[in-house]
Amino acid sequence: MAPLSARELPLAAAYSTPLLSHGVETAELNACSTLRVKLPPMPTPSQPLPSYFPTAAQDWAVAHPWWSTLIGGTALVLLGWLAFRLTREVLIVALNRLGARVRAKWDDALQKRRFFHRLAYLVPLIIYRAGLPYLPAFGAGIQNLLDRLLVTGMIIVIARAISAFVTAFGDLHAQTPNAHLRPIKGYLQVVIIIAYLLAAITVIATLLDQNPAVILSGVGAASAVLLLIFRDTILGLVAGVQLTSNDLIRVGDWIEMPQFNADGDVIDIALNNVTVKNFDETFTVIPAHHFLDHSFRNWRGMQDSGGRRMKRSLLIDISSVHFLTPEDIEDLKRFALLRPYFEEKREDIDTWIAANPAARENPVNSRRLTNIGTFREYVMRYLRARPDIARNLTFMVRLMGPGPQGVPIEIYVFVADTRWTVYEGVQGDIFDHLMAILPEFGLRIFQNPSGADVRSLEPVIEQLNASGAPGQDDPEQDDADSG
């Protein structure tokens, strides 16, 4: 073999492997390499600069390795940054515009989950790793360390890109007609967790220069002890990740967990537990993993919607329900809210009677208004006229089935304010008015007899006792007859 030239001798020394310089045999090196992560090989240039540089620049780099490393490292950083910016602002933008012109949905899903943005971080890492051998001032040990750090970054970037891709696939599946029948969100989450676990093991093995199988065997041996000692901590950690990643609860949310007598605002989310400040100023501390084992109610949706549900019934005495006479209708026209209703109903009923001649024979064959139906219409128009009732949410006044306590008229609306005190005030004003106006329609609220009702019957009972009930035997007359 030809001897090395004077210019190639220091270059060969700078790029020699430290293991060989310490006398490690080739056979031993090959045996150890089977237990380590086999990284993609770095280029091993025979020159300190790429081959397209002239001989004078190569000689200067050999003579001044530190200056060459400083200038080359600066150029490498700028090149990686420039490539990253071009990828993000030119290439990805062009791909997004091209995807906007086609009808396919997969590109929109990938763009929404920022799949290409996450992959863009690979570009500077690849450039840095490719240029790492051209920094002659760094010894083989430093280059090896930097190479492992760059490979670690690549693994993390690829894991995040896989997560974005799997999530985008889930978004596409959610848009299919039968997605609600066969949800796959849980399976996709398992895939993402496995991808991150494999990435974590590979990163640890890369940094420790070990085979991933060795790391897995060590983790398997220690898992039993870890699960036994840190059971609650591990459960809390997993539950905390699930709660935060799925956005199930936040600090400030109003939640209810009747199993733990919790009804209040979340004030702290720790590793092992969640602290709830109840409305009675007490505190409930709930282990985090119980949020995955038990059901709970989060009122955040109500607070975000801007409306708070009012669901309450008026119990109407069924004996007070009757048809409205023409005199009753004229009397109820005093209500300005009901005048348009009576006009609409009069035209509707007249049209129906004209199409059904039998309705003229007897009132029982005709359509007539009832006091309870008119009251229900009044309640709807009264609530619509109130500015504190939300109109963009469910709005309903319905007649429920009759029962032992009368006929319920249920009001199902939303107050346009989620504050508790304001909500209770609006609800109280509405039902105060409705209970007071109810007798105007000839209706009565159902109420079980109370002590006052029984006492009101005492004069009637006394009068009956004084006059004697019809057919009741006189005890004095019976005594005289027996004598």
H or E, element range at 194: helix 185-208
Residue 32 has pLDDT above 60, yes or no: no
Which residues contact residue 360 at a Cβ distance below 8 angstroms, ignoring those fewer than 6 apart?
353, 366
Residue 204 and residue 196 in contact, taking contact as beta carbons nearer than 8 Å? no
> Would you state the pLDDT for residue 35?
44
Residue 431 has pLDDT above 70, yes or no: yes
**Calpha distance 130→150 (Å, rounded):** 10
Write phi, then psi, for 242 (nearest 5 degrees): -65, -40
**pLDDT, tens digit (0-9, with 9 covering 90-100), for 420-429:** 899 999 999 9
> Would you state the pLDDT for residue 61?
66
By CB atoms closer than 10 A (0-12, 13-18, 19+), residue 200 is middle
List C-alpha distances in Å: 65 to 4, 48, 199. Answer: 19, 9, 36
> Would you state the pLDDT for residue 246?
79
Residue 272 and residue 236 in contact, taking contact as beta carbons nearer than 8 Å? yes
Residue 186 has pLDDT above 50, yes or no: yes
**Calpha distance 56→52 (Å, rounded):** 12
- The 10 Å CB-count burial string (b at 16+, else e) for 232-257 is eeebbeebbeebeeeebbeeebbbbb
> Would you state the pLDDT for residue 333?
92
Residue 404 has pLDDT above 80, yes or no: yes
Min mean pLDDT across 6-10, 118-122, 402-406, 416-420 is at: 6-10
Residue 20 has pLDDT above 70, yes or no: no
With 0.75 as the threshold, say if the pTM is over it.
Answer: no
Question: Residue 62's closest CA among 125, 120, 14?
Answer: 14
Tell me what the mean pLDDT of segment 333-340 comes to: 93
Query: What residues does each domain of the chain span?
Result: 8-221, 231-298, 308-355+362-441
Residue 265 and residue 253 in contact, taking contact as beta carbons nearer than 8 Å? yes
Residue 470 has pLDDT above 80, yes or no: no
CATH, domain range 308-355+362-441? 3.30.70.100
> Would you state the pLDDT for residue 111?
80
Beta-bridge mates of residue 275:
268, 285
Residue 252 has pLDDT above 80, yes or no: yes
Q: How much is the CA Rg of the chain, to the nearest whole Å?
A: 42
**pLDDT, tens digit (0-9, with 9 covering 90-100), for 48-57:** 666 666 676 6
**pLDDT, tens digit (0-9, with 9 covering 90-100), for 138-162:** 777 777 888 888 888 899 999 999 9
**Calpha distance 34→54 (Å, rounded):** 40
Question: Residue 427's closest CA among 438, 412, 442, 437?
Answer: 412
Residue 478 has pLDDT above 70, yes or no: no
Residue carrying structure tokens 């029948």? 181
Question: Residue 314 — pLDDT band, cuts 50, 70, 90?
Answer: very high
Which residues contact residue 477 at a Cβ distance below 8 angstroms, ignoring those fewer than 6 apart?
none
The percentage of residues in the chain with a pLDDT greater than 70, rounded to a whole number, is 81
Which residues contact residue 57 at a Cβ distance below 8 angstroms, ignoring those fewer than 6 apart?
49
User: Is 231-298 a domain of CATH 3.40.50.2000?
Assistant: no
- When the pLDDT of each residue in the chain is averaged and rounded to a whole number, the result is 80
Tell me what the mean pLDDT of segment 265-274 comes to: 84
> Would you state the pLDDT for residue 112?
82
